[in-house]
Amino acid sequence: MTSLTVVPYSGAASTTTSSAFTPTGCSTLAYGPKLAVQAAVKYGDGSTQLTSTISQNSGEAATKQMTLTMPSLTPRSDVQSRECAQADVTTCPATSVVGSATAVSPLSANALTGKVIITKPASSSSSLPGLAVVFPAPFPIVLTGTTALVSNTIQTTFAGMPDVPLTSTTVMIAGGSDSMFVSGWSLCANNSTATGAFTGQNGGTSSTTVPVATTCSF
């Protein structure tokens, strides 16, 4: 719905008119997100930096929901204690930040940079924290993710994503002493894979399984 309000210089009453607009052809848009996953593991403490990049061609339908399935990693208990309980994740303290994010959109001349926040579990029955990806103004986008253990993997689902075209989105969970995950050395011994399942704003679906490119060091 588009509305237009006209205020004349004469001082006469303003006039407002509106018109409905129904976009067409959305179902014919291509939709095929690509996924790339990298892990950097320290042998000593198993701290793991995990980086996921989702890319799309310009002109494709935007993503409405995605589920990323990663090899099972053990969350650090001290990091979990930093979970943000704020209803508005944009007000979470710096101690809840566990990583960073970058997004590229044709709507912005510059890449968007944001942060990854660890949040309280979505329900009392879940022992795993959630994740929120927060981009500030002028494009205040918040992606809220719920996490679950499924068949010895970690699944994070981001639902209700805004209809904003993003040609590239990279989410990095930091490694080192503040790493959210430990026991990453299992990635060094196995040919691990990650899976992405995506649903577009136009109803299109796509899924892909890719190897986790792992770098292991002492």
3-class secondary structure per residue, 67-122: EEEEECCEECHHHHCCCECCCCHHHCCHHHEEEEEEEECCCCCCCEEEEEEEECCC
Residue ranges covered by each domain of the chain: 27-217
- Which pLDDT score is estimated for 19? 65
- Which pLDDT score is estimated for 151? 82
CA dihedral 157, 89, 175, 147 (to 10 degrees): -20
CA atoms within 13 A on the CB side of 89: 23
Q: Which two tokens stand for residue 124?
A: 């009392």
Cα separation, 162 vs 157, whole angstroms = 14
Cα separation, 210 vs 96, whole angstroms = 29
Q: Which two tokens stand for residue 87?
A: 């209803």
Q: How far apart are the first and last CA of the chain?
A: 58
Residue 106: cis peptide before it, omega within 30 degrees of 0: no
Low-confidence residues in the chain, pLDDT < 50: none
Structural class in CATH, domain 27-217: mainly beta
Contacts of residue 34, Cβ cutoff 8 Å, sequence gap at least 6: 54, 55, 56, 208
